[in-house]
């Protein structure tokens, strides 16, 4: 099952629906919890009652109604059981939750879209600051700007902006959270034309680890703006984002072209030659996966957002790479290509992946890649590539926290399995073995495609030479590393 279509695989929207406010609960009991350093501690019932009384949203503990739905993550491979969940309705709730967590030294997770492949949107025994109820999207068509609350999903942003034939770079899966995507960089179908999601970030509103609200822009705390553009969730909880929008659509040209895997080497070499001449308006994902008949295929996911009169000419070489098994390129709404109506917020299957950047589809890389894909089992596996380059590469690596500007693609190796089920270890094992062969051909990694097994040295690969500057920011705004469930920048580094 393709990563970008996981959002359409489940009809379960419960986990991301805004829970109705309940009547104030009866007095809480003491609650066992986990500290930042892993120690066990006890939260007093009086402190929990005080917190509950000062937030507009819900405070939920284990055993209370809605707990299991509230703790559920997008990736069901992770089954987290936090001590407390605060479902925030605004920045004031976030401030109160952050201050409570910091004062008690609690392990802390931030749940926005919840789309973390590594399960970082939840935690065991700690406090989850859940901003998913905060989903407002406000479009200013005159300024071509969007103000987006932290819980909004990409599909929400796309649909609101496209009402005015506007868009900004917004991922490839509509139920991804705007917050996580942007803070990690934000590759997407418009990236080669307009830059990363974070390149289009004009301003933000941030709650720091000491509970302060800070405006962030080119004139207010500009160093923080630099850090939020690709530095992950390391510096606090962003409660709202302001994006630059661009004229796009509402009609674009795209869809999929599918080829048999049997001629993958020749096809990918021809494809690499074509990409070297492709305009910025053209974006093409590549997936090596398995179709509904259990046959390996090469699938191209195409989006051309340039002048529609040029679409057939620009994309014609993609049809001539070989004999397509299936070709579904056509004029269609941008929101359809983005899958913007499909925002269930939960994946049907558990997911495990590893990823990294590559510097081109070279013959050596293609030979290694196809060799690995030949060993891919005939179900629930995928090797995919998100295209970069274009406007992304024209920003200096030091121009934002996002370092890996020169990469041509972000590659991922992915497996999925039914939950509950017994496929998890088998599928994880294949991904690890496949990645052992491909990893030497990568350089750095995309923090939005991180696994739960990232280590300090790989985090350095994400941030490159920007790491010391990011450490200085971390020491200033989160010296105790309260916000550590991410591609973590250690303030003690």
Could you tell me the two tokens for 119?
Answer: 């399960």
Q: Are residues 187 and 336 in the same domain?
A: no
d(CA 179, CA 170): 11
Q: What is the pLDDT along the chain (493 residues), one digit of tens a residue?
A: 465 554 444 433 333 333 333 334 445 699 999 999 999 999 999 999 999 999 999 999 998 999 999 999 999 999 999 999 999 999 999 999 999 999 999 999 999 999 999 999 999 999 999 999 999 999 999 999 999 999 999 999 999 999 999 999 999 999 999 999 999 999 999 999 999 999 999 999 999 999 999 999 999 999 999 999 999 999 999 999 999 999 999 999 999 999 999 999 999 999 999 999 999 999 999 999 999 888 999 999 999 999 999 999 999 999 999 999 999 999 999 999 999 887 766 788 999 999 999 999 999 999 999 999 999 988 889 999 999 999 999 999 999 999 999 999 999 999 999 998 888 999 999 999 999 999 999 999 999 987 767 666 678 889 999 999 999 999 999 999 999 999 999 998 7
> Domain with 310 in it: what CATH number?
3.40.462.20
Q: What is the DSSP track for 149-218?
A: ETT-BHHHHHHHHHTTTEE---BS-TTSBHHHHHHH---BTTHHHH--TGGGEEEEEEE-TTS-EEEEES
Q: What is the pTM of this model?
A: 0.93
Nearest Cα to 94, choosing from 124, 63, 51, 62? Answer: 51
- DSSP lists the bridge partners of residue 241 as 148, 204
Pairing mode, if any, of strands 127-130 and 84-87?
A: parallel
- Using CB atoms within 10 A of its CB, is residue 159 exposed (0-12), middle (13-18) or buried (19+)? middle
d(CA 435, CA 445): 13
User: What burial letters (b/e) apply to 184-217, b meaning 16+ CB within 10 Å?
Assistant: bbbbbbbbbbbbbbbbbbbbbbbbbbebeeeebe
Its domain, for residue 300, covers 251-453
Domain assignment present for residue 379? The answer is yes
Domain-ending residue, one of 248, 267, 287: 248
> Domain with 193 in it: what CATH number?
3.30.465.10
Torsions phi, psi for 478 (to 5 deg):
-150, 65
Domain assignment present for residue 405? The answer is yes
Domain assignment present for residue 493? The answer is no
Q: Are 102 and 209 in contact (CB under 8 A)?
A: yes
Give residue-wise pLDDT tens across range 379-390. 889 999 999 999
Note the residue count of the chain: 493
Q: Are residues 110 and 41 in the same domain?
A: yes
Domain assignment present for residue 276? The answer is yes
Q: Are 352 and 77 in contact (CB under 8 A)?
A: yes
> Domain with 43 in it: what CATH number?
3.30.43.10
Domain assignment present for residue 328? The answer is yes
- Specify the number of domains making up the chain: 3
Could you tell me the two tokens for 163?
Answer: 């009402």
- Residue 235: strand, helix, or coil: coil
d(CA 246, CA 12): 32
Q: Are residues 34 and 112 in the same domain?
A: yes
Nearest Cα to 449, choosing from 345, 354, 380? Answer: 354
Domain assignment present for residue 469? The answer is no
- Using CB atoms within 10 A of its CB, is residue 24 exposed (0-12), middle (13-18) or buried (19+)? exposed
């Amino acid at each position: 099952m393709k990563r970008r279509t996981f959002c359409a695989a489940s009809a379960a929207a419960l986990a991301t629906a805004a829970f109705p406010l309940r009547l104030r609960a009866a007095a809480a009991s003491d609650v066992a919890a986990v500290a930042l350093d892993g120690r066990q501690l006890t939260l007093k019932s009086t402190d929990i009652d005080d917190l509950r009384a000062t937030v507009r949203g819900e405070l939920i503990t284990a055993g209370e109604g809605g707990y299991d739905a509230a703790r559920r993550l997008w990736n069901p491979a992770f089954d987290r059981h936090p001590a407390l969940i605060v479902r925030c309705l605004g920045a004031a709730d976030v401030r109160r939750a952050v201050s409570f967590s910091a004062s008690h030294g609690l392990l802390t997770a931030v749940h926005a879209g919840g789309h973390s492949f590594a399960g970082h949107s939840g935690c065991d025994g700690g406090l989850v600051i859940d901003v998913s109820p905060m989903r407002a999207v406000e479009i200013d068509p005159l300024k071509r700007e969007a103000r987006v609350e932290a819980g909004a999903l990409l599909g929400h942003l796309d649909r609101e902006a496209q009402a005015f034939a506007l868009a900004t770079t917004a991922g490839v899966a509509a139920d991804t959270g705007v917050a996580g995507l942007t803070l990690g960089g934000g590759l997407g179908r418009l990236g080669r034309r307009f830059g990363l999601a974070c390149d289009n970030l004009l301003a933000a509103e941030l709650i720091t680890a000491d509970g302060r609200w800070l405006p962030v822009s080119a004139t207010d705390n500009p160093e923080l703006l630099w850090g939020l553009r690709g530095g992950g969730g390391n510096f606090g909880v962003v409660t709202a984002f302001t994006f630059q929008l661009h004229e796009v659509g509402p009609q674009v040209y795209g869809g999929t072209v599918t080829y048999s895997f049997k001629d993958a080497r020749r096809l990918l070499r021809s494809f690499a030659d074509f990409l070297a001449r492709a305009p910025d308006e053209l974006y093409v994902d590549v997936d090596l996966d398995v179709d509904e008949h259990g046959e390996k295929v090469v699938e191209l996911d195409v989006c051309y957002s340039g002048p529609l009169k040029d679409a057939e000419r620009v994309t014609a070489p993609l049809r001539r790479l070989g004999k397509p098994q299936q070709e579904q390129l056509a004029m269609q709404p941008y929101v359809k290509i983005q899958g913007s109506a499909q925002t269930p917020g939960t994946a049907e299957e558990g997911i495990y992946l590893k990823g990294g950047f590559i510097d081109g589809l070279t013959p050596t890389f293609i030979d290694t890649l196809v060799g690995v894909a030949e060993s891919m089992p005939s179900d629930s596996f995928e090797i995919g590539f998100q295209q970069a380059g274009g406007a992304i590469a024209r920003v200096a690596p030091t121009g934002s926290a996002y370092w890996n500007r020169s990469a041509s693609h972000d590659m991922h190796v992915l497996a999925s399995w039914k939950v509950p089920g017994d496929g998890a270890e088998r599928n994880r094992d294949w991904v690890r073995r496949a990645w052992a062969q491909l990893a030497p051909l990568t350089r750095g990694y995309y923090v939005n495609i991180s696994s739960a097994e990232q280590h300090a040295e790989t985090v350095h690969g994400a941030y490159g030479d920007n790491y010391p500057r990011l450490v200085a920011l971390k020491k200033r705004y989160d010296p105790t590393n309260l916000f550590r469930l991410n591609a973590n920048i250690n303030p003690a580094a």
